[in-house]
Amino acid sequence: MIDIQHVSKTFITGKNKVEALKDVSLKVNKGEIFGVIGYSGAGKSTLIRCVNLLEHPTSGKVLVDGTDILKLNRAGLRKLRRKIGMIFQGYNLLETANVYDNVAIPLKLEGVPKKEIKARADKYLRIVGLTDRSKAYPSQLSGGQKQRVAIARALAHEPEVLLSDEATSALDPTTTDSILELLLKVNRELGITIFLITHELNVIQRICDRVAVMEQGRIVEAGTVVDVFTQPKKQLTRQFVRNESNFKIPDEIYKDLLKTGELVSLTFLGESAKDPALATLARKFEVLPSIIAGGIDQLKDQSIGNLLVHLKGETGQIHDAVAYLKAQNIIVEKVTG
């Protein structure tokens, strides 16, 4: 659906040259939710803005639904943009127009017939759950409600793709959840492909199918959310994932535990979570496992279990035990404090 090929973008301000994007390539498939995560300044925003040419790439190619968008003329670009909805961190609503008009005015400017405008505005305000607020002005709405209006406005164009530029970053956790829920519904029920950027892992975790991790204008890691989550390869990705499911164990305890055996972190997903692996371990090997900490990360379609386990026993036995766990499709990592 979106095919970004070797895109670079350099901003020149006076004598300063900033390379916001360096040879970025990625593909967003039809029907999926693709997320790009990175700290601020990583180039995410520039990247997403290249998809509807709010920003022009310095080099590279951007294909949307097979069309090379850099070759479009003005009218062609306007037409293309109508297929791509976009929502923003700052909502970007008309302050002087009520909720209904915020959805209806862009349709009017596009030349949609009057009857159709009313039908669509009503329909999408219902989908985002704001039918009863249609006469309210943005200043009377909460952040979450404003973002819902913005989503309704984007959907009313009946786009094939929705771009989300940090849409939940200004919202509190509960409101973020409800907006993510709404995006998931939009993706599943209306079949709209979503390409989003965020600095919140939670967003990736909750709704994305695939993810790319960006740092200093480059994509450093990409893959399905489950893979990137359970087996992060790059330092930065680990940082993101660990921040989320970090077991904070005091150093003292670490030291004590390491004297009598080894500490391992176990990651379970899917089928591997169903077998009583630790109990089997105790029976089969001369190893006593004890659970130090644990938690579950809920991903879009799957949960990941994390356990921090202390294995008490001799080195040889522990080695065999770890090999056994790995054979059970459990991801095992040694923890060294």
Partner 1 sequence: MAEFINQWGDAIWQGFIQTMQMTVISLVLSVLVGIPLGVSLILTRKGGQAENPGLYAVLNAIINVIRSIPFIILLFLILPVTKLIAGTTIGVQGVIFPLVVSCAPYVARLMESAMLEVDHGVIEAYQSMGISTTKIVWYVIIREARSPMILGLTIAAIGLIGETAMAGLVGAGGLGDLAYQFGYTRFQPDVMYAVIIVLIVIVQIIQSLGNAFARGLKKN
3-state secondary structure of 130: coil
Instruction: Select 98 or 205, whichever has its Cβ closest to partner 1.
Output: 98
**78 part of the interface to partner 1, by CB under 8 A:** yes
Among 16, 73, 139, 336, binds partner 1 (CB under 8 A): 139
- Of 149-157, 175-183, 255-263, 292-300: span binding partner 1 (CB under 8 A): 149-157
**116 part of the interface to partner 1, by CB under 8 A:** no
**170 part of the interface to partner 1, by CB under 8 A:** no
Residue 291 class from Cβ within 10 Å (0-12 exposed, 13-18 middle, 19+ buried)?
A: exposed
Instruction: Select 85 or 232, whichever has its Cβ closest to partner 1.
Output: 85
**94 part of the interface to partner 1, by CB under 8 A:** yes
Among 40, 96, 246, 298, binds partner 1 (CB under 8 A): 96
Q: Are 61 and 70 in contact (CB under 8 A)?
A: yes
Segment 31-70, which members bind partner 1 (CB under 8 A)? 52, 54
Strands (DSSP E) along the chain, which ranges?
2-13, 16-28, 33-37, 59-64, 67-68, 84-88, 161-165, 193-198, 210-215, 218-224, 261-269, 288-298, 303-312, 331-335
CA distance 335 to 258: 9
3-state secondary structure of 246: coil
Among 37, 62, 64, 88, binds partner 1 (CB under 8 A): 88
Partners of 221 in the β-ladder: 213
Please state the closest distance from residue 249 (CB atom) to partner 1, in A.
Answer: 44
| Residues binding partner 1 (CB under 8 A) | 52, 54, 77-82, 84-86, 88, 90, 92-98, 105-106, 109-110, 137-140, 150, 153-154, 157, 163
